[in-house]
Structure 1
Amino acid sequence: MNNSLSFESPSLSRRQFLNFLTGATVAATAGSALYVAGKFFLPPSESTGVGGAIVAKDILGNPIPATQITAEAPGTRALVAGLAGEPTYLIVKDDNTLDSMGIVDNCTHLGCTFPWNPVDQQFQCPCHGSLYAPDGTVVRGPAPLPLKIVHVAVIDDRILISPWTETDPRTGEKPWWV
């Protein structure tokens, strides 16, 4: 039996060890910088409910309680941020509840946003003069299609907005936006 120590060269030289440390430091620094850049450029994921429902939010991204909107007078159209941040009108019914159908505020002519005119009881696009009935159907062009609609539900004072994929109740046809 040989109990003597071996004088062979070590398996990792000093140069290899320093190269490994330098590479690990560069990789850790680059990885942390890429992580921060990725978090900055990727939007935060939004939790969705059944059927892709999201919570209605105000212009600052804060959830809007249903009681805040239902406290308004019947017939009021409240503008909130809906699916994909699209401005969406919610309608207060006569019994101070929200209508189950919301109307997306994008003109089907060129995508302009428009106000609700309570005096004339219609949506009026200021860009090219399209007029829409209270349910979003076209009264006067050049808009070729009715406004997009979404489902609206209230659960625990939260307003949930989800995509409308069924037959459009205004036309009786498959929705153009599906």
Structure 2
Amino acid sequence: MDSNIPLESPSLSRRQLINFFTGATIAVPAGYALYVAGKFLIPPPEKTGPGGAIPAKDVLGNLIPASQILAESPGTRALVAGLAGEPTYLIVKEDNTLDSIGIVDNCTHLGCTFPWNPIDQQFQCPCHGSRYAPDGSVVRGPAPLPLKIVQVAVIDNSILISPWTETDPRTGEKPWWA
């Protein structure tokens, strides 16, 4: 048996060393660029409250204080960005509080957004003529279903909007969107 240990140890050749440094020189900036692109493209998680509630925001993403909407006259329907940025109507009641039900501004026919018509007291979709009652139930088609609703709560001058998971008060059935 030969117990001699060779004195020469394997080492990197010059070519392997240059390839290593070239790869590292490319990998570090590329990794950093991918990290920055990922932070830009992936939105930060939204802070939610109990039951998945999020604060109401304006079109620019700024929080809307409850006092701003409650300063409007009773019967006003204020449009805010609600769950997943969906436009949502909040209703000021006669006692200057917000209704606990918000109405999502998406027509159930083809998903159009529409205005509240205060003269006719209806939501009217201008695209195909669907009309909805003040509570979001269908008055005239072609919309097949009532409008989606959300829960609205006011806590410390903040408006919190959360998904509606209970029985739909308009139909007495399980919500079609849940």
* TM-score, normalised by the number of residues in structure 2: 0.91
Residue pairs, 1:133-148, within 5 angstroms? 133-148=133-148
Q: Deviations over 1:10-69 (max 9, x none)?
A: 744554443332222211111011112212222232111111111110000101000000
Identity of aligned residues (%): 84
Residue pairs, 1:125-140, within 5 angstroms? 125-140=125-140
Q: Deviations over 1:147-177 (max 9, x none)?
A: 0000001111111100001100110000000
- The worse-fitting range, judged by mean Cα deviation, of 142-151 and 36-45 is 36-45
Give the partner amino acid of 1:160: L
Answering whether residue 27 of structure 2 is matched by residue 27 of structure 1, we say yes
- 5+ residue gaps, structure 2: 1-6
Answering whether residue 90 of structure 2 is matched by residue 90 of structure 1, we say yes
The answer for the alignment partner of 1:159 in structure 2 is 159
SS at match of 2:110: coil
- The worse-fitting range, judged by mean Cα deviation, of 15-24 and 80-89 is 15-24
- 5+ residue gaps, structure 1: 1-6
Instruction: Measure the CA separation in 1 of the matches of 2:114 and 2:19.
Output: 63
* TM-score, normalised by the number of residues in structure 1: 0.91
The answer for the alignment partner of 1:52 in structure 2 is 52
Instruction: Measure the CA separation in 2 of the matches of 1:12 and 1:157.
Output: 67
Shift of residue 95 of structure 1? 1.2
